[in-house]
Amino acid sequence: MMMQFVCQLLGHLLIICIAAFDLLQQLWVRLHALASRSYDYLQCDQRAFLDSALRGLEKLPKHLVLVVGPDDCYVDVALLKRIFSYAQIVGIPYLSVYDTRTQGNGYVDLSLFCQLDEKSERCFHWPSSSQAKEQKLIQNGHKINQNGTSNGYASNGAHQKQLQVYQITRADGHALIADVCRELYESRKSVQVQAMLEERQKLTNGINGMLNKRLGYAVPEPELGIVFSRQTCTYGLLPWHVRFTEFHTHRSGSYFDAKSFAQVLYKYARCEQRWGK
């Protein structure tokens, strides 16, 4: 009886120690984020910093995907605008956002600050036309913030093309592939499907085309992904499209700035996929 009591007591103490360690770790992360944010305001133009970092990169992704975990409560509109501006500065043309949070629990709707594409309900442009005009006025001599950004987007240097942004939902994952496979099975006796089954590459291209048609846009598969969560997980993100995507996890609560973005790009540039060789 005494031994059982001691074991239960040690178990409770262990749980308390783990909870205390986790709380202290979160507190340290938030203090570091606060210090980094304050230090960031004293830095030079972030465009110049990213332009300088860009010279040391051998390759850049054409498509960047951001995965926001359900446990994250720090990724908001302001952070997404900063990341969009970084991607625009370095020249990444496509960016997708997969926010697994729910409405009222931190979910960010891109339509709040991006311009909806006329041809697709899933495609947006950033900055919007009004923001782009304001950006041009700023470049012609109006006020520029000390950190080189204005209203969340790059505001110094030459005018950049609009970033194409896509919002991905949970329905675009396994459920979408299941629908495509069901459609192929139902029309398995058709000439088109029989032709696709003759060669594996034809089948792959056919499935890709059907997926892109249902998604409402056709963009390159994402080469780089940034996961904002306490653990590395894709949460069912487009399993067919992220076969060769390199993922990097940024711990929830940690401050994400131009330096963090450049470090992810450096890691991606150093990575070489050998394709089974």
Per residue in 72-106, pLDDT (tens digit) is 888 999 999 999 999 999 999 999 999 999 988 88
Instruction: Please give the pLDDT value at position 152.
Output: 41
CA–CA separation, 117 vs 151, rounded Å?
Answer: 21
Q: Contact 82/152 with Cβ under 8 angstroms?
A: yes
Residue 71, pLDDT > 90, answer: no
Q: Output the CATH code of domain 44-141+154-270.
A: 3.40.1180.10
Distance between CA 32 and CA 193 in Å, rounded?
56
pLDDT of residue 33: 52
- What integer pLDDT is reported at residue 41 of this predicted model? 47
Residue 151: per-residue pLDDT? 40
Mean pLDDT of 168-174: 83
If one compares 149 and 254, the residue with the highest pLDDT of the two is 254
pLDDT band, residue 169 (cuts 50/70/90): confident
Task: For 44-65, write each residue's pLDDT tens digit.
Answer: 567 777 888 788 788 899 999 9
Is 70 exceeded by the pLDDT of residue 110? yes
- 60 class by beta-carbon count within 10 Å (0-12 exposed, 13-18 middle, 19+ buried): middle
Q: Which of 2-6, 204-208, 255-259, 260-264 has the weakest average pLDDT? A: 2-6
The token pair at 47 is: 């465009």
Q: What is the mean pLDDT of residues 190-198?
A: 87
Output helix, strand, coil percentages for the chain, rounded to the nearest 5: 45, 15, 40
Q: How many CB atoms lie within 10 A of CB 67?
A: 29
Bridge partners (DSSP) of residue 228 are: 68, 250
